[in-house]
Chains A and B, each alone.
Chain A
Amino acid sequence: MSPSITQRGTRLRFENLHKSFGRTAVLRDVTLDVPGGLTTCIVGPSGSGKSTLLRCANLLERPEAGRVLLDELDITAPHVNVDAVRARVGMVFQHFHLFQHLSVLDNVTLALCKVRGMARDAAAAVALDKLAAVGLAGLDGRRPLDLSGGQQQRVAIARALAMEPEVMLFDEATSALDPELVKGVLAVMRDLAQAGMTMIVVTHEMRFAREVAGQVVFIDNGRIVEHGPPEHFFEQPEHPRLRHFLEQVL
């Protein structure tokens, strides 16, 4: 595939984030640098706050304290246009969330037409290109629910990529897939990482993290316990909590 990516890669920085749902603290003073052009994998047990942290990156969750910086822009500042930020940050969800009433093509063109203001023909051309890039040429006329889970997730990736995002967020993108469909989706993500997209990937796929990530982050109970390059992270984990976690999942 040949995704066109911004040259240097946009950086992202989470700074002293706090977030709670009711009385449950989900993020406790989380600070993390996401370097441009690299893939940052976030791993950890369920309910540890991984997804919440990811969702702070496009403000689907708003932190109670702290800042999120997209390059120099503090996206949590009050005057910031959230919709404009979201148009720069693509997101892929665990359960795809394709628009069920629209065809595959219209799923991909909707934001191009309504947010970017592109003409329908031009948007369709971009969409067909992205669909081909994720290996779905010829399926543009189908309804999402006529596709397999793996195909649906690749449509979701194409939908996000069509907006030419600077950063891509993946929230357990393969967790809801049948095992034999996981590979195809991971391959698309791997291509994207190798093309130099800035990515944050919340995942349970340790092999993917080890092979693709530039940085792996372990979150437990709302805190970053350990982070580092994959070799170090997987071969010489320092924190006992991480060692225990890796023993369970590897």
Chain B
Amino acid sequence: MFEGLQRIAATFFNPGLIAQALPELVTVGLPNTLLLSVFASAIGIALGLLVAAGLLSVRRGVRLPCRIYVDILRGLPHILTVYLIGQGLPLAGLSLFGGNTYGYAALAIGLIESAYFAEIFRAGFQSVERGQIEAARSTGLTLRQTMRYIIIPQGARRVLPPLTGQFILVIKATSLVYLLGLTASQREMFAIAQDAAINNANLSPLTAAGLVYLALTIPTTYAINAWDRRLRGARATRPVDAE
């Protein structure tokens, strides 16, 4: 029993190896992870908003393709999609980003995430009361304007907590780009940790990477939750006075 714990400590928690891995993780891996996360989320959120609007369209010809898109991208293993897009696009002659693995990686993860973001936004849009929409339409706003000025702002605000959760999943999903092969300076946190783990025949660098992931994701969650509370708190005050 004690021996087992010692073996685990030696394999995962070797202080020397953790300390050795940390500098590169923070100086090279962390910026790359953040950059990929931000690009992938930007693609995911922009596309997700569009697809969410499409999912709620009254026109079947719009709704159905959006539904298929979401179902396929949510139904495939992420690894498979990353391969399909990262390797498939250049093979198909669509060298959008030249030889830059980064672009394909961000695009692949962004597309995957857009399907999840779309479902989150759809739920948010559907939670906006009918009366808000009728009030907007009754002043002469078109459906498109109502979407833009009423439904999206109100719906998106309401789904801030699940959006945060999804953003954290994006941060973690960026580790999948190692599948596409990266130059040394392009490596994100997971790739760096994995290389170090192989070189040292010890898994402690992965533990180090785990620590940095946690240092990134946990504060993010709390920061956005606090922002969400402030947005909600701003509305929950009492009436000014009786008339």
Contacts and interface: CB of A to CB of B under 8 A. Distances in A.
Contact of A148 (B138, B140, B241): B241
B134 to A, nearest CB: 6
A151 interface: yes
Interface stretch (B100-108, B176-184, B208-216, B232-240): B232-240
Contact of B242 (A91, A146, A160, A180): A180
A101 B154 contact: yes
B134 A60 contact: yes
Contacts of A163: 139-140
B157 A98 contact: no
Interface stretch (A36-44, A107-115, A118-126, A242-250): A107-115
B137 interface: yes
Interface string B113-149: 0000000000000000101101111111110010001
Interface residues of A, number: 36
Contact of B138 (A58, A84, A180): A58
Given A100-B132, A100-B154, A101-B154, A110 B141 contact: yes
Given A97-B134, A100-B154, A143-B235, A115 B141 contact: yes
Given A97-B134, A98-B135, A99-B150, A83 B140 contact: yes
B139 A146 contact: no
Interface string A70-87: 000000000000011011
Contacts of A83: 137, 140-142
A92 B83 CA distance: 55
Nearest to B148: A114
A5 interface: no
Contacts of A111: 139-141
Given A58-B138, A84-B140, A111-B139, A148 B239 contact: yes
Given A100-B235, A148-B239, A86 B157 contact: no
A150 interface: yes
A151 to B, nearest CB: 6
Contact of B134 (A93, A114, A181): A93
26 contacts: A58-B138, A60-B138, A86-B137, A86-B139, A89-B138, A90-B138, A91-B135, A97-B129, A97-B132, A97-B134, A98-B135, A99-B132, A100-B132, A101-B157, A110-B149, A111-B140, A114-B141, A115-B140, A143-B234, A143-B235, A145-B236, A146-B237, A146-B238, A150-B243, A156-B135, A184-B243
Interface of B: 129, 131-132, 134-142, 145, 149-150, 153-154, 157, 234-243
